[in-house]
Structure 1
Amino acid sequence: MNGPEIHVEVAPELRLFVPHARRLGATALPTDGVSSLGHVVESLGVPLTEVGALVVNGREVPASHVPAAGERVDVRAVERPQRVPGAPLRFLLDVHLGTLARRLRLLGVDTAYESTDIGDPALAARSAAERRVMLSRDRGLLRRRELWAGAYVYSTRPEEQLRDVLDRFQPALRPWTRCTTCNGELRDATKAEVADRLEHGTRRSYDAFAQCAQCGRAYWKGAHHDQLEAIVERALAEFTDRGQPG
């Protein structure tokens, strides 16, 4: 390799983003004296949303730091729990994370979700406008500068995705308070109030209901309640009293 170099070591948790040949030990990279360290890290494949600190020769530096020849760089993973300053903790999920969105809403976490592919620019703009943490498995989306904040979803399994998000951000949990369809807030409702939304068998068999104040959907403890209850109980057992305020 010709020209001046820097030596970059990526934290083990982040090496899945790095091409195989560079995953072990420090990587020697050319430096041009112009490109920022953030640009260098992203060129390795690591989204900056996953970087907790950039340490150069033992001193933490911002992503805008321009590395000089011979510097040794440690790319560290985000510390957990990750705090998102300046806004209530809210999420935005892309079209591929519908099950995760419903489970976060089940736990009472404010979660917006795009059920159609509106494109990366529109998602990033919504994240910024509404101050929502963008959750995605799309590294290109997470590299967009206009994002309010973002996080990579590491697993393809909804159970693991949920646990990872709860562990990383530790949001306050308020189960059974949000509509899993639209994210609106639920309120108690009488059978008469929701009667026009119920099948005859449901009207006959159930007496306790809730209704979404936004879309009007009715909820009751139906056939799938035990499965949902299990998801809630697991989350509460592990994450109760660890959440962020608000």
Structure 2
Amino acid sequence: MNGPEIHLSIAPELHLFVAAERRGGRTPLTTDGASTLGHAVESLGIPLTEVGQLVVDGREVPFSHIPAAGESVDVRPKERPQKVPGAPLRFLLDVHLGTLARRLRLLGVDAAYFSEDVGDAALAAYSARDRRVLLSRDRGLLRRRELWAGAYIYSDRPDDQLADVLGRFTPPLAPWTRCTACNGDLKDATKEAVSAFLEGGTQRSYDVFAQCTACDRVYWRGAHHAHLEKIVEDAVSAFGNATSQAR
């Protein structure tokens, strides 16, 4: 049965989630008279992780608000930078965001990641248990009620993805302090201490090493260091808030 009709205005930042006919001006939406305004917004394809405010006839209302006939609703995006309750700020990335996970770790940002698809339910439960912000391009995953917090990744390009996360959440940066393979902490290591992990050419060519305290992986300034250094320099220059230490 049809319920009250309301009128929504969707902020331009959220237009990619909705049908073209809802991207201009205020458009009507027929509700069922019982569901929340949050549910109505989600039904249009907008993850609530991306909604900052719902403003009804000039006043902010919670997602649990039950719409009444004739209400005018402004759906606004999250403000940036976005504040996340609690500390420390930690992330969880789904299986499709491996490159982003490694780049966040390169910058010292705590970013948990599974290289295999463990399923939406497991990811949502992990987010809730460890209070991690789930990053994903899967709108369905971001709609799961178990989530502690989440954010949609708007681009499929790693450079843009990294800039999006750093600009949105402004996590503190500590480059070269975290293992890009497992997310563990790095410690300085002598060549003698890690010699068993090194090939002969590496032992002869390098003298400065770090080792992961969790998985024992060894790091040195190898052939790809210049590329990684560029990623770090660009991120620190654009978003600051970093304590850098050379590797």
Task: Give the letter for the 1:194 counterpart.
Answer: V
Task: Give the letter for the 1:101 counterpart.
Answer: A
Does 1:149 pair with 2:179?
no
Counterpart in the other structure of 1:127: 127
C-alpha distance in structure 2 between counterparts of 1:96 and 1:222, whole Å: 27
Q: 1:215 to 1:242 in 2, by over 3 A?
A: closer
TM-superposed CA distance for 1:32, in Å, is: 2.4
Counterpart in the other structure of 2:182: 182
Q: 1:170 to 1:214 in 2, by over 3 A?
A: same
Determine if contact 1:6/1:67 at 8 Å carries over to the other structure: yes
Counterpart in the other structure of 1:194: 194
- Percent of paired sites with the same residue: 72
RMSD of Structure 2 on Structure 1 (CA): 1.2
Alignment of 1:69-218 (within 5 A): 69-218=69-218
C-alpha distance in structure 2 between counterparts of 1:48 and 1:111, whole Å: 22
Does 1:232 pair with 2:232?
yes
Which segments of structure 1 move beyond 2 Å, counting only runs of 4 or more? none
TM-superposed CA distance for 1:26, in Å, is: 1.4
Counterpart in the other structure of 2:29: 29
TM-superposed CA distance for 1:25, in Å, is: 1.7
Alignment TM-score, normalising by the size of structure 1: 0.96
Determine if contact 1:8/1:73 at 8 Å carries over to the other structure: yes
Determine if contact 2:4/2:67 at 8 Å carries over to the other structure: no
Deviation per CA, 1:105-148: give whole Å up to 9, x if none: 00000000011001000000000001000000000000001101
Alignment TM-score, normalising by the size of structure 2: 0.96
Determine if contact 1:56/1:71 at 8 Å carries over to the other structure: yes
- Structure 2 counterpart SS, 1:216: coil
C-alpha distance in structure 2 between counterparts of 1:46 and 1:27, whole Å: 15
TM-superposed CA distance for 1:3, in Å, is: 5.7
TM-superposed CA distance for 1:19, in Å, is: 1.4
**Structure 2 residues not aligned, in runs of 5+:** none
Determine if contact 2:49/2:149 at 8 Å carries over to the other structure: yes
Task: Give the letter for the 1:28 counterpart.
Answer: P
C-alpha distance in structure 1 between counterparts of 2:195 and 2:86, whole Å: 42
Deviation per CA, 1:224-245: give whole Å up to 9, x if none: 00000000000011111389xx
- Structure 2 counterpart SS, 1:75: strand
Determine if contact 1:170/1:242 at 8 Å carries over to the other structure: no
- Structure 2 counterpart SS, 1:194: helix
Counterpart in the other structure of 1:65: 65
The worse-fitting range, judged by mean Cα deviation, of 177-186 and 13-22 is 13-22
Q: 1:169 to 1:242 in 2, by over 3 A?
A: farther
